[in-house]
Amino acid sequence: MTELRARDLSLGYGDRQVVTGLNLTIPEGAFTAVVGPNACGKSTLLRALVRLLRPRGGVVELDGRDLQRLRSRHVARELGFLPQGVEAPEGIRVAQLVRRGRYAHQSVLGTWGPGDERAVVGAMAAAGVTDLAERGVEHLSGGQRQRVWIAMVLAQETPYLLLDEPTTFLDIAHQYELLRLLARLRDEGRTVVAVLHDLNQATRFADHVVAMRDGRVVATGAPADVVTATLVEEVFGLPCLVVPDPVAGSPMVVPLD
């Protein structure tokens, strides 16, 4: 059993301290939503969890081992990451970009096998970009491009999927399609961590919610325990009612006038 955990984590850039003394365990095999206001440190935390940002203090552990000490290939095979606002290399085609997701799986000789092909075809189908395979990524719409990146991350077939605002740019139907896909991957045993701005989507699809403010974790737990009117007011400064979602029964945030 693997476990991703942050202990007493401090993160920052230059003289800007963003996260101080953060403790967090990502429940394995669950769908965790990270919520919080702009600039509170969500992306910074995710980058540290996938080792793109070295901690100033504390440690991120995968399986009880310091992430900094693991081999890059091991990290790449375990942790799939979709950054926020990522840009594709110029001139690259959709299928080419998705194939890059297999990089960490290739042998030293870089041989492309049937397993790689299957992963790429499956990921493109799951993300709904099969028909775009030969299109240039830079000529796609924002939502199409976002789905191509999702396909690239899925092609990595990692047990962990960490996605920074995966629903941005997507229309409402594609947002729900993606959230359902993530829930299905969770059902199949993967661990999903997604930064989501839509609290109603977070409570409806996630098993576990991490609420952040000013670089700190303010609350973690089941959606109904975390997303309360008090917490939303405390974290976002937004007075609201929280009522049961009429379809799913999950907590639904309705802002007050």
Ligand X SMILES: Nc1ncnc2c1ncn2[C@@H]1O[C@H](COP(=O)(O)OP(=O)(O)OP(=O)(O)O)[C@@H](O)[C@H]1O
Single-letter amino acid code for the residue at 235: V
Ranges within 34-53 binding Mg ion (CB under 5 A): 42-43
Question: Which element (helix H / strand E) includes 242?
Answer: strand 240-244
Judged by beta carbon, residue 157 or residue 164, the one nearer ligand X is 164
Among 195, 146, 140, which residue's Cα sits nearest to residue 170? 146
Q: How many DSSP H helices and E strands does the chain contain?
A: 9, 12
Among 26, 32, 44, 203, binds ligand X (CB under 6 A): 44
Site string for ligand X, 65-84 (x = CB under 6 A): -------------------x
- Check: CB of residue 46 under 8 Å from CB of residue 162: yes
Does 39 bind ligand X (CB under 6 A)? Our answer is yes
Among 32, 43, 167, 200, binds ligand X (CB under 6 A): 43
Neighbouring residues of 117: CB distance < 8 A, sequence distance ≥ 6: none
Among 20, 84, 96, 130, binds Mg ion (CB under 5 A): 84
Judged by beta carbon, residue 43 or residue 250, the one nearer Mg ion is 43
Does 96 bind Mg ion (CB under 5 A)? Our answer is no
Burial of 254 per CB tally in 10 Å (0-12, 13-18, 19+): exposed
Among 172, 166, 142, which residue's Cα sits nearest to residue 152? 166
Ranges within 81-140 binding ligand X (CB under 6 A): 84
Does 38 bind ligand X (CB under 6 A)? Our answer is yes
Does 156 bind Mg ion (CB under 5 A)? Our answer is no
Report the C-alpha gap between 119 and 125 in whole angstroms.
10
What is the smallest separation between the CB atom of 12 and ligand X, expressed in angstroms? 8
Does 42 bind ligand X (CB under 6 A)? Our answer is yes
Q: Which residues bind Mg ion (CB under 5 A)?
A: 42-43, 84
Q: Which residues bind ligand X (CB under 6 A)?
A: 13, 16, 18, 36, 38-44, 84
